Structure 1
Amino acid sequence: MLLLLSVCLIAQPATCRDEQIPVGGGAANAFVCLRNSQSVLAQWQDEHPEWHVEKWRCAANAAPPKKP
């Protein structure tokens, strides 16, 4: 599963981008992805303090990415 994020710069809210984070730990279905997503999001936010997560969702690895 992938965690799809829409993130924007805190200092320039109009500057946004999409991120894809593989969710491991046996996240073979959306429920497991959603359950594990909070810790993945917290870690990503700690590593990228200049960015703010606007939206996020889980998607299958094979699914074509669409905007969250």
Structure 2
Amino acid sequence: MFILLSICLLAQPSTCKEDRIDLSYEARSPFVCLRNAQSALAAWQESHPEWHVARWRCVARGSQPRDL
């Protein structure tokens, strides 16, 4: 599993892109992904202070995720 993020620059909110947080080593189901998402998102946000997470969702590895 991984978390698919839609992120935007704080300084330029119209500048957005997608990123991923890989949880495959600890999350094997959507429930586990959702349970661990808050701490993973907080850690990601701490290491990327210039970005804002606008949206996110858990996605199974191997699936073709739709754009957020």
Structure 1 distance, partners of 2:44, 2:24, is 14
Match of 2:36, SS state, is: helix
1:64 is matched with which residue?
64
1:46 is matched with which residue?
46
Stretches of structure 1 that go unaligned for 5 or more consecutive residues are none
Structure 1 distance, partners of 2:62, 2:26, is 16
The Cα of 1:25 is off from its aligned counterpart by 4.8
Q: How does 1:7-22 map to 2 (within 5 A)?
A: 7-22=7-22
Stretches of structure 2 that go unaligned for 5 or more consecutive residues are none
Q: TM-score, normalised by structure 1?
A: 0.93
1:5 aligned onto 2:5: yes
Identity of aligned residues (%): 53
Question: Any runs of at least 4 consecutive aligned residues in structure 1 with deviations exceeding 6 A, and if so which?
Answer: none
CA RMSD of aligned residues (A): 1.0
Q: TM-score, normalised by structure 2?
A: 0.93
